Amino acid sequence: MNNKLNIELMINNAISTASITDIHTHLFSECFGELFLFGIDELLTYHYLVAEALRYDGVDYQQFFNLSKEEQAEYVWKVLFVDNTPISEPARSVITILNKLGLDVNQKDLNYYREFFRAQKLSSYVDRIFKITNIKCLIMTNDPLDQNERGVWEKGYVKDSRFRAALRIDGILNSRESSFPQLRAFGYKVEDDLSGTTIEEIKRFLIEWIEKMDALYCAVSLPPDFSMLDGSKRVEIIENCVLPVCKGKNIPLALMIGVKRAVNPELRLAGDSLAKTDIKALEYLCAKYPQNKFLVTILSLENQHEFVITARKFRNLMPFGCWWYLNSPSLIEQITRMRLEWLGMSFIPQHSDCRVFEQLISKWEHSKAVLAKVLIEKYNDLIQMGYELSEEKINRDIQNLLGDNFWRFISQ
Ligand code: HDL
Ligand code: ZN
Report the distance separating Cα 149 and Cα 210, nearest Å: 15
> Residue 370's CB: how many other CB atoms inside 10 A?
22
DSSP string, 21-81: EE-------GGGGGGS--SHHHHHT-HHHHHHHTTSS---HHHHHHS-HHHHHHHHIIIII
Residue 103 is which amino acid? L
pLDDT the model gives residue 2 = 66
CA distances from 214 to 237, 374, 386 (A): 22, 35, 47
Q: Which atom of ligand 1 is nearest to the CA of 353?
A: 13
**CB of 143 closer than 6 angstroms to any ligand 1 atom:** no
Q: How far away, in angstroms, is 324 Cα from ligand 1 center? A: 6
pLDDT the model gives residue 87 = 98
* Residue spans per domain, the chain: 4-411
Task: Give nearest CA residue, ligand 1 atom 2.
Answer: 221
pLDDT the model gives residue 57 = 85
pTM of the entire structure?
0.98
Task: Give nearest CA residue, ligand 1 atom 10.
Answer: 324
Pocket test for ligand 1, best of 24, 25, 26 (most atoms within 8 A of CB): 26
Report the distance separating Cα 185 and Cα 195, nearest Å: 18
Task: Give nearest CA residue, ligand 1 atom 8.
Answer: 324
**CB of 351 closer than 6 angstroms to any ligand 1 atom:** no
pLDDT the model gives residue 217 = 99
**CB of 324 closer than 6 angstroms to any ligand 1 atom:** yes
pLDDT the model gives residue 5 = 73
Q: Compute φ and ψ for 387, nearest 5 degrees.
A: -70, 130
| pLDDT by 10-residue block (mean), the chain, 412 residues | 81 97 98 97 98 94 98 98 98 98 97 98 98 98 96 95 98 98 98 98 98 98 98 98 98 98 97 98 98 98 98 98 98 99 98 98 98 97 94 97 98 94
* CATH class belonging to 4-411: alpha beta
> Residue 273's CB: how many other CB atoms inside 10 A?
17
Report the distance separating Cα 400 and Cα 403, nearest Å: 5
